[in-house]
Amino acid sequence: MDFWTHLATNFPPETAAQIRRSLSDERTRGLLLNTNKIDIREFYSRFPLLSHHPLVSNGFLYDQKTYDFGKLFWHDLGAYYLQEPSAMSVVSFLDIKAGDSLLDLCAAPGGKTMQASLLLGEGGIILANDISHSRALILSSNVERLGLGNVVVTNNDFQTIYQSYLAAFDKIILDAPCSGSGMFRKDEKMLKDWSYNKVMACQKKQIELLHIAYLMLKPGGTIAYSTCSFSKEENEDVITCLLSNSDAYLASITGKQGLYSSRHLDGPVYFLPSLFTGEGHFLALIKKPGQLRASQQRNNPYRGKYLALVRQYGLEKRHNLEIDDSLYSLSLPFDVKGLNVLRYGVRCFDEISKHPQPNHHLARFLGATQSLVLDDVSFREYLAGEMLNIEKSPGYHLVSYQGLNAGFVRAVDGKLKNLYPKGLRRR
């Protein structure tokens, strides 16, 4: 069975034909604004030809011919995350509250984690995991670039450790690995790679992941299950399997213009490129019976041996933890025993047992109010990794450009040694 024949098994003939025609259209790109760093109105005033995302308050739609946001310095400084508009919509339906503990089970490259982090603020925490080490590293670098401080990044196979996290999370995001048919317009190679056998292989993994996700969900909690597939086998059939083997039930997603309601289950929806300004996506909200209890977790003031260093940067009220000669700072304590941790909140200082050095992530997390403001020329030199001829007192200093921290420098012999990470430098 080819893809087009298969598409018609899940949608009425006219809808399937509309989807097929829409895949020839030019796609619209999306941007999630990092509101920790820049106000929505200010950003819009700088880029007035943006369109507001219909479902995400800090989301924008844009034409790459007008704004090539991936090449602008704003991207380097973590002012936004580039994200496909339909995928960006998922988290907006999860009703995230301050204080929630959240698991993003298949998180890389991190768009849904970024959005959830901004909604949670400092009152909550996200465990963002990916089973692929290389993809988890990309996730970790995006958390650093945006300067997020409430995310634990891990690289684990939760099918082997989920028993340690039974009923542990208020909300869970499961953007399941899938056949990717919803992304054909974005990547034509995926159409050539599509097969029904691939769909069924993905279904097996999806059923397993959704099962363990449900076990890790607290009573009263919600799972946002999503795929970028048009296949009923990867969407409704996976949900039906869980409903048949648990007390789970579905929440309705209604009243949103441009969404296509599932023909097979009450509640789930499709984002169809023929109806919504984005690529193909499926979303179901799965509930566990019960009542969520408000989290009572709080930080104890830091009393470790690096207290003076922690106070210098205003981190003393956060949960600060030493891991492998680095000091990390997270919004709230989280037990990471048994996890392969790549990042525990903000990576603040390295070589702490010898000569503590501030990490690049700390610069991105902190505000720019007490930073050294760079002009256009100095900023370009900084991004290129060059020494800056600026007089400052000896020691480490933050540098910023147009209100956004760029990174650290170290004043030595009347010059500023550039500490911008070598892998990020560009001219």
Catalytic residues: 228
Quick check: bond before 109 cis, omega within 30?
A: yes
Q: In the numeric block, which tokens belong to residue 280?
A: 């193909």
Task: Determine the Cα–Cα distance for residues 128 and 61; give it in Å rounded to an integer.
Answer: 26
CA dihedral (10, 13, 19, 21) in degrees, to 10, reads 150
CA dihedral (306, 309, 311, 317) in degrees, to 10, reads -50
Task: Determine the Cα–Cα distance for residues 83 and 61; give it in Å rounded to an integer.
Answer: 10
Decide if 342 contacts 136 (C-beta within 8 A): yes
Nearest partner of 161 among 336, 404, 363, 413, judged by Cα: 336
Tell me 91's DSSP state.
Answer: G
Task: Determine the Cα–Cα distance for residues 206 and 178; give it in Å rounded to an integer.
Answer: 8
Task: Determine the Cα–Cα distance for residues 138 and 108; give it in Å rounded to an integer.
Answer: 7
Task: Determine the Cα–Cα distance for residues 212 and 373; give it in Å rounded to an integer.
Answer: 49
Q: What are phi and psi of 320, to 5 degrees?
A: -105, 130
Decide if 27 contacts 279 (C-beta within 8 A): yes
Task: Determine the Cα–Cα distance for residues 20 and 332; give it in Å rounded to an integer.
Answer: 47
Q: In the numeric block, which tokens belong to residue 69?
A: 């946001």
Decide if 127 contacts 310 (C-beta within 8 A): no
Task: Determine the Cα–Cα distance for residues 30 and 41; give it in Å rounded to an integer.
Answer: 17
